[in-house]
Amino acid sequence: MAVIAPSRRIRRTPFTPGVEAAGVKGYTVYNHMLLPTVFDSVVADYHHLKNAVQVWDVACERQIELRGPDAARLMQMLTPRDLRGMLPGQCYYVPIVDETGGMLNDPVALKLSEDRWWISIADSDLLFWVKGLAYGYRLDVLVDEPDISPLAVQGPQADELVARVFGDATRAIRFFRFGWFDFQGVSMAVARSGYSKQGGYEIYVDGTANGMPLWNALFEAGKDLDVRAGCPNLIERIEGGLLSYGNDMTRENTPHECGLGRFCSTQTAIGCVGRDALLRVAKEGPTQQVRAIEIAGAIPPCDRAWPLMAKGKRVGQVTSAAQSPDFGVNVAIGMVRMTHWDEAATLQVDTPDGMREAVVHENFWL
Ligand code: THG
């Protein structure tokens, strides 16, 4: 693969000096920002993530801040998830849809207070949609991208490492909750969340200048824990069934097709854009849905959709795939038509290297 030409459009993060010093070997671009993809090898990174603790530069999970009297109203317009019971200090995984019910993003929303929210976005230019709604509906709310950069600490030793830097009170943070903790005189949101199934935290680092001091403090405190720089790991996130916007779902898909129906309460999400369209699909049910797919044989990297076939007819597609050391098979994520989405359905997948056998599973591996 060729290199990424550095330029102002591909934004560096507050942690980029640390990532480069740690020997990053691959980058992707996410929200117009650098996102590391590999440090040692994807397989070595995977084993280390499952056994120790890693610090991830996920500053590319940019925040959209809503601030003002209409912030809560705008947030509920954005998602079919019912936000009425959400309290300050909670994080919600929220599908965001357009007027047809098509997925625009699948962020984590943080409620800081009734009139202040962060939307921690996946890879699409959601800011423009949010600003357009606020402007079009003449809402009394400021919408911008603050200088906040998530730094994830993931892996079985994440509790210990974060407690050493932010104090033992971080151990009591519950899943998808956050609290405010001091680092060198700056108050930062620390949440128990992250894009892995290994457990851990995300620190919403306030201020670019505080990025490297915190990065260095974590590595200093975690020497004996074998802390390393890491990144969202392709194999582990497929094993865990963590979806990737732009890969496993696009604007072509409804939340129900993505298996995100459990995060929709469209009936009670009053004022949400796309409500009528989603009420229809919720009633009729989706005709295709995300599934775990097991693939036999050697496979190349999945950089385009691979058709899933049954008796020569297309019945879906594989959108992410990788060889899993722990499960001894190729793990994959696909979208499968309802005629073939049941457990153990046997299909063929048309990879660039040839046809492979594929088996549908109703549950992911982790
Ligand atoms: N953390 C934060 N922002 C993010 C991500 C993140 N923005 C981009 C991207 N990741 C958004 N996508 C996801 C996908 C899955 C999850 C979080 C964000 C996730 N899912 C859990 C699961 O499926 O097991 C739990 C969801 C729940 O039960 O509420 O964590 O990772 N800040």
Is the domain of 88 the same as that of 209? no
Is the domain of 97 the same as that of 179? no
Is the domain of 156 the same as that of 232? yes
Is the domain of 57 the same as that of 68? no
Q: Which helix (H) or strand (E) holds 219?
A: helix 211-221
pLDDT, tens digit, for every residue of 116-143?
999 999 999 999 999 999 999 999 999 9
Determine the Cα–Cα distance for residues 59 and 54; give it in Å rounded to an integer.
Answer: 15
pLDDT at 1: 73
Q: Which of 108, 121, 124 to mutate to test the pocket of ligand 1 (most atoms within 8 A of CB)?
A: 108
- DSSP 8-state secondary structure symbol assigned to residue 212: H
Determine the Cα–Cα distance for residues 293 and 281; give it in Å rounded to an integer.
Answer: 24
Q: Label the pairing between strands 54-57 and 228-230.
A: parallel
Name the CA radius of gyration of the chain, rounded: 21
Is the domain of 69 the same as that of 170? no
Is the domain of 69 the same as that of 28? no
Contact 203, 120 (CB under 8 A): no
CATH code of the domain in which 171 resides: 3.30.1360.120
pTM: 0.98
pLDDT at 83: 98
81 to 77, 186, 260, 300, 313: CA distances (angstroms): 10, 32, 10, 37, 35
CA-closest candidate to residue 61, choices 4, 14, 131: 14
Burial of 283 (0-12, 13-18, 19+ CB in 10 A): exposed
Q: Which helix (H) or strand (E) holds 78?
A: helix 71-78
Is the domain of 156 the same as that of 199? yes
Q: Which 3-state string (H, E, C) describes 11-66?
A: ECCCCHHHHHHCCCCEEEEECCEEEEEECCCHHHHHHHHHHCCEEEECCCCCEEEE
Residue nearest to atom 22 of ligand 1 (CA): 242
Query: What is the residue whose two structure tokens read 């405190």?
Result: 221
pLDDT, tens digit, for every residue of 254-310?
999 999 999 999 899 999 999 999 999 999 999 999 999 999 999 999 999 999 999
Q: Which residues of the chain have pLDDT under 50?
A: none
> How many domains does the structure of the chain reveal?
3
Is the domain of 43 the same as that of 72? no
CB atoms within 10 A of CB 2: 4
Determine the Cα–Cα distance for residues 143 and 27; give it in Å rounded to an integer.
Answer: 29
pLDDT at 41: 98
Is the domain of 78 the same as that of 54? no
Ligand 1 midpoint to CA 160 (Å): 22
Structural domain of residue 354, as residue ranges? 288-366
Residue nearest to atom 16 of ligand 1 (CA): 195
Ligand 1 surroundings by CB, under 6 angstroms:
61, 93, 106-108, 120-122, 150, 176, 193-195, 202, 242-243
